Structure 1
Amino acid sequence: MKSRTWQADGLLMVTAIIWGLAFVAQRASMEHIGPFVFNSARFALGCLSLLPLLWWRRNGPAQPFRPLLLGSLAAGTLLFAGSSLQQIGLVYTTAANAGFITGLYIVMVPILALFWRHKTDAYTWIGAFVSLVGLFMLSMTDQWTLAYGDLLELIGALFWAGHVLLIGWLCRRLDPIRLALGQFLVCTLLSLGAALLWEQFDLQALSNVWVPIGYAGILSVGVAYTLQVVAQRHAPAAHAAIILSLESVFAALGGWLLLDESLGTRGLLGCAIMLSGMLISQLPVMRDRSRPEPA
């Protein structure tokens, strides 16, 4: 059991690294193509990367078409909103800022769950307050306004939190692989439509960023998603909460190493405080669900 836990923790760490460095790939691509073009290509590759999994599970139980269609449309629309705001925000902010602010969805999920009459404990409110202090230090400008790119990332985090809640509800009713493929397809089509309306497709520009698109589409969407599903079969929930929260740290490290981004002393302190707030909000999970559980 211990060896399985260590293996699962290792897979979760790889997942956090992949997702963190994806912010670097997304940021680098914005120098050549538009946000919607990038997302349409990224999620199209994500769809293709899930086809082998779907074929492997071809003999699984049949899935009713109408619930799967409606679930895919709802989840794909939220995914489109969150990913679009995240990608547009990356035009105006750093990979580190985007990674840490997007990570606030961890705190937002239990707060949004209040609308469904779910109880929210004191740790969540404390974590939310601490995260807001960190966000203030990271993103507040000299004019006492939230930086534009960071504001977009913050609004996007709300959609990511809503997406997490919706997926949590749908996965108990629908096959997760088919649902993932459906939502990626919906997001691809919406991103493609937005790109046709507001951006231009430049094949030369696309060829310049095929590596970041491939990374974000195949590794970040397909491979990391699969690793997370496999790892959480054997990883304690406490381990998963801590390790996956490190995604934002790897985004900052990747931005520093690969894009020469610098946060400064105030920014670094803000990031540290935000990460602390995220972890504080997860203390009940770490305390009450320390045993392995199925994904």
Structure 2
Amino acid sequence: MKVKNGMILALVSFIWGTSFVAQSMGMEYLEPFTFNGVRCLIGGVVLIPCIWLINRLTGNGSGVEKEKYKKKDLYIGGIACGVLLFLASSLQQIGIQYTTAGKSGFITAFYIVMVPVLGIFLKKAVGIKVWLGVALALCGLYFLCINEALTINKGDILTLVCALVFSLHIMVIDYFSPKVEGVKMSCIQFFVAGVLSLPFMFLFETPKLLNMGLSMGSLLYAGVLSCGVAYTLQIIGQKNMNPAIASLILSMEACFSVLAGWLVLKETLTIREGLGCIFMFGAILLAQFPERKVEKVEEREATDNG
């Protein structure tokens, strides 16, 4: 099960990484709140037929599953995730205007450090190999993203807060995903994030249908795949998985964004960036091993106590 979850999260990181290309192209015509708002609403709309189909195939959650399903947890989790998604994506889009893309990517990826730190306060066990994996991943992200001296400015601070919000988003998903239907919670979070973007879009930006039409390809990729598919798979993949491990796998989006930029936008992939990708893969492999050992010990203890 854990291997399957890890593969799902790896697919999520791939979609998110390649969506940076779509976001970069879409921002040529649209402003941050407009782009984020429209893509989130598209993501929510796309999931509605998915929910209908799942209900048809599963008998609308009848029997035991229906008793386990709690609407209160669904709405609270969906709204909480939506608010956090809105805050994080908005801070990232605004912050990148005042800092470089490389520094923004590096600082955003600090959620791989923040998640296990936050997990300590929630009594989430984190082994030494996970911490070593985090350190190795940070080295990889440094090689991938940082090419100049690290300084702090307005954009860096905004992006650092964005990383904190993304880490909270991961922790909230970790808490609610075992309790609710993932697709429904994902649908709610997109509509919440999209609706929250609307007043800021009309107050501070000048949305135009013509510009939306010019960016439709980017909006559809970011809305259908990055939002509708990837964030839903994140909720499913994170179910019953250590959030520290999940954050490491999701941080692979940095590697995929570099590769996507190289293939689609013809950006150069340097030896330094290739080395960063190797560090990232190594970090994820290292962090996966202790979890399996811990699970076996827990299973043995449960058997003994049973």
Fold shared by both chains (TM-score > 0.5): yes
Instruction: Report what 1:221 is aligned to.
Output: 227
Counterpart mapping for 1:20-35 below 5 A = 20-35=17-32
Deviations 1:75-97 (A, max 9, x none): 11111122223333455544x77
Maintained 8 Å contact 2:136/2:280:
yes
Instruction: Report what 1:164 is aligned to.
Output: 170
Maintained 8 Å contact 1:127/1:277:
yes
**1:255 is the counterpart of 2:258:** no
Please give the alpha-carbon distance, in whole angstroms, between the structure 2 residues aligned to 1:31 and 1:283. Answer: 43
Instruction: Report what 1:129 is aligned to.
Output: 135
Please give the alpha-carbon distance, in whole angstroms, between the structure 2 residues aligned to 1:151 and 1:275. Answer: 28
Instruction: Report what 2:37 is aligned to.
Output: 40
Which of 203, 210, 217 lines up with 1:204 in the alignment?
Answer: 210
AA matched with 1:17: F
Counterpart mapping for 1:1-295 below 5 A = 15-58=12-55, 59-60=60-61, 61=66, 65-91=71-97, 92-94=99-101, 102-137=108-143, 138-139=145-146, 141-142=148-149, 144-145=150-151, 152-225=158-231, 246-262=252-268, 264-270=270-276, 272-274=278-280, 276-285=282-291, 287-288=293-294
AA matched with 1:76: G
Structure 1 gaps of 5+ residues are 234-238, 291-295
Q: How many residues are aligned here? A: 281
- Return the offset for 1:73: 2.2
Maintained 8 Å contact 1:26/1:90:
no
AA matched with 1:223: V
Please give the alpha-carbon distance, in whole angstroms, between the structure 2 residues aligned to 1:57 and 1:222. Answer: 15
Between structure 1 and structure 2, the one with the greater Rg is: 2
Report the TM-score when normalising by structure 1: 0.76
- Return the offset for 1:126: 2.2
AA matched with 2:197: S
* SS at structure 2 position matched to 1:189: helix
- Over the aligned positions, Cα root-mean-square deviation in angstroms equals 3.8
* SS at structure 1 position matched to 2:201: helix
Please give the alpha-carbon distance, in whole angstroms, between the structure 1 residues aligned to 2:247 and 2:172. Answer: 19
Please give the alpha-carbon distance, in whole angstroms, between the structure 2 residues aligned to 1:277 and 1:163. Answer: 22
Please give the alpha-carbon distance, in whole angstroms, between the structure 2 residues aligned to 1:150 and 1:280. Answer: 29
Report the TM-score when normalising by structure 2: 0.74
Instruction: Report what 1:293 is aligned to.
Output: none
AA matched with 1:41: V
Deviations 1:237-260 (A, max 9, x none): xx9998765433221111122223
- Return the offset for 1:120: 2.4
AA matched with 2:207: F
Please give the alpha-carbon distance, in whole angstroms, between the structure 2 residues aligned to 1:17 and 1:75. Answer: 21
